């Protein structure tokens, strides 16, 4: 068995120690690493586990566009997929994917709102951010739902072309907003803004379901609903970090915590185990 992880920061784990690639914002305690350990794979052996996730990646960065992050230019993640050996159809391969939110400026808009509507955020923006960075936050490039759907189609088509029988798990985004998230207490925005972010999260969930539709080897891992009800901001057991100045400083603001990554890997492993059991009894 071999595991390959593709995606952006909600898979990579910025702000979670240890960081094995600072430019990628990639932690060895992200959910793909935890999942690899649950599968009894060696996370340090690239022939068993390959983590290609990069914080800030869009689906285009997975498919065809290089990504500049820090001092590193990362090639499109699909370009780093290893070839199959002759006669191997990829049936022993698992690929996890978490992405699409950056295409829609989902978490980025939370950053921008916090920096604009807090005193410390305005100071950070003015003194520590470049003109180009401020411009990117103020005038982001945002894909439509239709464009994100098209990108998912291209991504999955390319994966299936390279690995015809590989199992692909589309691991949904952790929910940031939930029924216990309160305006002014857990976030700096109002209740109307909370609803906007909840609507975006729901849309991403729909796009994941649509992407998997009709593909027998592609499965959606239901992380969004469980985290929305039990582990969002304001809950008794949050799996995500808030937008405090400390979390911004450690690059973990509005992202999964280490506890969240471990919880997500448990959900993924249980989903995978049940699938394998059901498949054996079919």
pLDDT tens for residues 212-221? 999 999 999 9
Distance of CA 55 to the CA centre of its chain: 8
Distance of CA 68 to the CA centre of its chain: 18
Q: How far apart are CA 71 and CA 73, in angstroms?
A: 7
Q: How far apart are CA 180 and CA 186, in angstroms?
A: 9
Q: Is residue 119 part of a domain?
A: no
Q: Is residue 207 part of a domain?
A: yes
The tens digit of pLDDT for each residue in 132-172 reads 778 877 778 899 999 999 999 999 999 999 999 999 999 99
Q: How far apart are CA 79 and CA 110, in angstroms?
A: 31
Q: Is residue 26 part of a domain?
A: yes
The low-confidence residues of the chain, meaning pLDDT below 50, are none
- Token couple for 156: 């999955």
Judge whether 260 and 171 are in contact, CB under 8 Å.
no
Judge whether 267 and 216 are in contact, CB under 8 Å.
no
- Confidence (pLDDT) at 89: 85
- Confidence (pLDDT) at 103: 97
Query: Could you tell me which of 178, 205, 177, 174 has the C-alpha nearest to residue 267?
Result: 174
Q: Dihedral (C-alpha) 58, 62, 64, 65: value to the nearest 10 degrees?
A: 40
DSSP code at position 176? S
Range of the domain at 269: 2-110+147-280
Q: How far apart are CA 160 and CA 208, in angstroms?
A: 16
The reported pTM is 0.95
Q: How far apart are CA 108 and CA 103, in angstroms?
A: 10
Strands 49-51 and 26-27, bridge-based pairing: unpaired
- Confidence (pLDDT) at 41: 97
Could you count the other beta carbons within 10 Å of the beta carbon of residue 27?
A: 26
Strand partners, 253: none
Q: How far apart are CA 279 and CA 63, in angstroms?
A: 30
Judge whether 153 and 212 are in contact, CB under 8 Å.
no
The CATH number of the domain where 54 resides is what?
Answer: 3.40.50.1110
Strand partners, 67: 74
- Confidence (pLDDT) at 281: 54
3-state DSSP assignment of residue 218: strand
Q: How far is CA 6 from CA 43, 53, 168, 177, in A?
A: 15, 5, 10, 24
Domain count of the fold of the chain: 1
Q: Is residue 70 part of a domain?
A: yes
Q: Is residue 126 part of a domain?
A: no
């Amino acid at each position: 068995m071999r595991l390959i992880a593709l995606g952006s920061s909600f898979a990579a784990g910025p702000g979670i120690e240890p960081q094995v690639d600072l430019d990628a914002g990639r932690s060895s305690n992200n959910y793909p690493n935890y999942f690899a350990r649950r599968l009894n794979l060696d996370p340090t052996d690239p022939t068993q586990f390959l983590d290609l996730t990069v914080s800030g990646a869009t689906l285009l960065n997975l498919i065809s566009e290089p990504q500049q992050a820090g001092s590193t230019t990362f090639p499109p993640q699909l370009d780093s997929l290893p070839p199959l050996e002759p006669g191997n159809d990829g049936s022993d391969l698992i690929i996890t994917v978490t992405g699409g939110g950056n295409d829609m400026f989902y978490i980025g808009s939370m950053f921008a709102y916090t920096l604009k509507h807090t005193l410390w955020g305005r100071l950070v923006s003015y003194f520590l951010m470049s003109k180009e960075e401020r411009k990117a936050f103020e005038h982001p490039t945002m894909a439509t739902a239709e464009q994100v759907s098209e990108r998912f189609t291209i991504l999955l088509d390319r994966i299936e072309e390279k690995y015809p029988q590989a199992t692909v798990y589309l691991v949904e985004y952790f929910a940031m907003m939930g029924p216990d998230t309160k305006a002014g207490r857990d976030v700096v925005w109002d209740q109307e803004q909370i609803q906007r972010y909840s609507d975006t999260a729901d849309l991403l969930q729909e796009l994941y379901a649509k992407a998997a539709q009709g593909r027998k080897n592609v499965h959606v891992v239901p992380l969004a609903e469980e985290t929305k009800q039990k582990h969002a901001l304001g809950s008794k057991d949050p799996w995500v970090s808030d937008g405090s100045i400390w979390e911004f400083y450690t690059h973990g603001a509005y992202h999964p915590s280490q506890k969240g990554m471990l919880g997500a890997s448990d959900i993924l492993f249980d989903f995978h185990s049940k699938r394998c059991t059901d498949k054996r009894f079919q």
